[in-house]
Amino acid sequence: MSLNKKKPVVYVFPCRIQQGWGDVAEAANAAWALCKAGFQLRYLVDSEGERSDPRAIPVDPTLVSRPRFPPIQRTRRPNGSGSAIVLATWWGITARLHDDLGGPLPGVIARRVERIVDAHGEDRVLHVSLEEFASAQSSRAAMAESLRQAGWGRKRIVSYLESREGLDRINRYHRAFAAARGDACRDVIHLVATFSSTPSATREFPFLVEVGPFGYSALRRFNRFPARLPSRGKDIEHPFNDMSPKKILWYASPDSSPRFAEDLCQALSRLKFRCRLEVRTSVSRWNNISHLQHVPKVTIVFLPELSDEVWRQRTNRADLVIVSGSQSLMEASAAHHPFLYFNGYFPGNRTRPRAFRREKLLSLLKAWRVGGVPERIVLDLRDFADGRNLRAILCRALTSQEWRRHFLSAPQELSATPPWSLPLTRAAGDFYLATIARRFQEHSGPVSQLVEELRREAYSQVL
């Protein structure tokens, strides 16, 4: 009979690791999954004078309005009764002590996590690490991507990675990645939300457990009435033949967005119709491109901070949406609305820009190929993210009824049965996270034993 029938308390610690809010939004989605499963959520307030690693910024979920968190109780001291779950963003960076990392400063929430462990007991605390979206990749693939961003060609990359120096660099990356994620910590389960699995990464790093996107099922329910498809010879929702400007909604979060805006406006000006580009971004980044206000046939409008409801309304009224990062990409893929993706240019040669961090989009495109999405759409999204063929892609996205018909219909089928190439037990990230919490509630042995079972189950499913 289980000795731990009381539901564990969940301590939520979202952190901003990078510039965008994707990591915080993922933590909010995971928190909603546990809240709906009946678990109590808490946020342990920071103690005064606590030093922390500057690589991450902790976010108090009780004080932010976007992304929206479920009800969370603020507390200054952990409740030592019963067991606890620590839900943290990038646990290896934010929650580990300096003694583990060998660095000068602890993680931003390391002291608070230590207080939770001291109060509840080491064997009664399960740590859940929310890794970066679609970040699971083999060491060789990670090194190849870093060299591509540095401007290396494909043949040069292959030749280098097969050399002695390249193999040594791959081995050093493997050791550093495993150590940074805390692979030796037996009480941590590392969850990587993704659109499609990466077996090579799971085989190399068995402690990574890939799951479906958190919050995706809720987005599907919200968008259960997709935009109508154009009928034969006539477009119902988008009258392509009239003279009204085509509306393009752009979530421009990358730092290189002003640079991309010049290429985007030049491509739009070469089309045969007028366009209205509505941009949601930080205006301070756009101070040096006032000349774009005078590009022929293109009107640029900067939007203020918008609520989720207003943003969805503008999305439904737009002819095309340009998204960035992980959360907006997930929302767009679930909304059955035509979209393109841009996550930034890597600094370098302007004539041959290199897309920054493409793994999120490539993960979705891999799943779409499995689900039967036309190759034309897959190639268009990939080329647009790389900054290639902008005019041709925008022309198809804004004027081709066939392009839009496939785009609107195919993702519907995908969202009904996600072809994430993941086992059904892990295809829905919300369900799997709630299952982990329930198994921990019923588990009577050491936490490390449960973590080992979860890792072994995921690894065996890959094999």
**Domains of the chain by start residue, with CATH:** 9-212+421-462 (no CATH), 233-416 (3.40.50.2000)
What are the residues facing 89 on neighbouring strands?
A: 130
- The pLDDT of residue 407 is above 80: no
pLDDT above 70 coverage of the chain, percent = 83
SS3 53: coil
Average pLDDT over residues 231-238: 38
User: What pLDDT is recorded for position 323?
Assistant: 93
What's the rounded mean pLDDT across residues 63-67? 84
Whether 415 has a pLDDT exceeding 80, the answer reads: no
SS3 86: strand
Q: What is the pLDDT of residue 434?
A: 96
Q: What is the pLDDT of residue 132?
A: 92
Residue range 15-34, pLDDT digits in tens? 988 767 889 999 999 999 99
pLDDT of residue 24: 93
The 3-state secondary structure of 195-256, one letter per residue: CCCCHHHHHHCCCEEEECCCCHHHHHHHCCCCCCCCECCECCCCCCCCCCCEEEEEECCCCC
User: In the prediction, which pLDDT does 414 show?
Assistant: 46
Residue with tokens 């009107």: 299
Task: Tell me the two tokens of residue 249.
Answer: 């909604």
Q: Which one is predicted more confidently, 97 or 142?
A: 142
Least confident of 106-115, 166-175, 263-272, 301-310: 301-310
Q: Does residue 220 have a pLDDT over 80?
A: no
Cβ-based neighbour number of residue 169 at 10 Å: 18
> CA-to-CA distance for 448 and 123, rounded, in angstroms?
8
Local confidence band at 408 (pLDDT 50, 70, 90 cut-offs): low
How far apart are alpha carbons 207 and 27 in whole angstroms?
20
234 has a pLDDT exceeding 70: no
Strand partners, 43: 74
The secondary element (H helix, E strand) that includes residue 188 is: strand 188-193
pLDDT grade, residue 72 (50/70/90)?
very high
Overall pTM surpassing 0.85 (yes/no)? yes
Question: Is it the case that residue 454 has pLDDT exceeding 90?
Answer: yes
Structure tokens at 106: 């602890």
Residue 179 pLDDT grade (very low, low, confident, very high; cuts 50, 70, 90): confident
Burial-class residue 196 by CB neighbours within 10 Å (0-12, 13-18, 19+).
buried
Ranked by mean pLDDT, which of 53-57, 228-232, 323-327, 452-456 comes out on top?
452-456
Spatial distance between the Cα atoms of 167 and 102, rounded to a whole number of angstroms:
25
Q: How confident is the model at residue 238 (pLDDT cuts 50, 70, 90)?
A: very low
**In whole angstroms, what is the distance from residue 74 CA to residue 42 CA?**
6
429 vs 286, which has greater pLDDT? 429
State yes or no: pLDDT of 240 exceeds 50. no
pLDDT at site 348? 55
Place of tokens 């030796």: 184
pLDDT at 81: 84
**Lowest-confidence range among 37-46, 202-211, 218-227, 342-351?**
218-227
Structure token digits, residue 120? 């509840």
Peptide bond into 423 cis (omega under 30): no
Instruction: Give yes or no for residue 91 having a pLDDT over 50.
Output: yes
Average pLDDT value for residue range 147-163: 91
Q: DSSP class of residue 153?
A: -
Per-residue confidence band for 162, with pLDDT thresholds at 50, 70 and 90: very high
pLDDT at 4 over 60: no
Tokens coding 277: 């580009």
Among 113-117, 328-332, 393-397, the minimum mean pLDDT is found in: 328-332
Least confident interval from 228-232, 302-306, 356-360: 228-232
Other CB atoms within a 10 A radius of the CB of residue 412 amount to: 15
